[in-house]
Amino acid sequence: MSTANAGEANPGEPAGAPRRNWSRVLLMVSLAFNLLVIGAFAGRMLRHGPPDWRDGDSPRAFFHALPDDRRKELKSLLDADKAEADRRRDEIAKLRQAARDLIAKDTFDTAAVESAIGAVMASRVELRQLMTKSFIAALSRMTPEERRAFVKHRNRRWKERSGDF
């Protein structure tokens, strides 16, 4: 009834055979892989610099291309309902959690779940309407040239989404 000590061979192994600690090997392989990924990312950042949100086809990139005074004016219109939008996002998060709680109960109440999901959907529609109102306010203050440039800028993205407007 003896247990194998660090220097002793395991039962069934020839005397003097090296012991393999697979968890240690896997840890080292994992560490090497993580360092490889981090090194590749760091190398890309050093060679090309950090990604720039001002490039690309996002609305933010479009607004960044505008002169400072126009950008500030339009941003103030877009941010006019920011506090209300944030409040509604918090409300949506609470409604989603309430729906998840209903779904996870031992007894499934179809009517309660339908009602909870309906409340989430209605709140999302209200948020979208609020954001659309701010967006239209900003569009209404743009010059015809700015609106055309905005549409041209966004067409690339809209086409990628299978033509949805």
pLDDT tens-digit map of 141-158: 888 988 888 887 777 666
Residue ranges of domains in the chain: 1-51, 59-160
Is the predicted pLDDT of residue 132 greater than 80, yes or no? yes
Report how far residue 127's alpha carbon sits from residue 138's, in angstroms, rounded to the nearest whole number. 17
- 165 versus 60: the higher-pLDDT residue is 60
> Biggest alpha carbon distance in the chain?
90
pLDDT tens-digit map of 4-55: 555 555 566 566 656 668 888 888 889 898 988 898 888 877 776 665 444 4
Is the predicted pLDDT of residue 2 greater than 50, yes or no? no
pTM > 0.85: yes or no: no
The arithmetic mean of pLDDT across residues 107-131, rounded, is 94
Report how far residue 136's alpha carbon sits from residue 72's, in angstroms, rounded to the nearest whole number. 16
Report domain 59-160's class: mainly alpha
Is the predicted pLDDT of residue 65 greater than 60, yes or no? yes
16 in the Ramachandran plot: left (φ > 0), alpha (ψ -120 to 50) or beta?
left
The arithmetic mean of pLDDT across residues 48-65, rounded, is 59
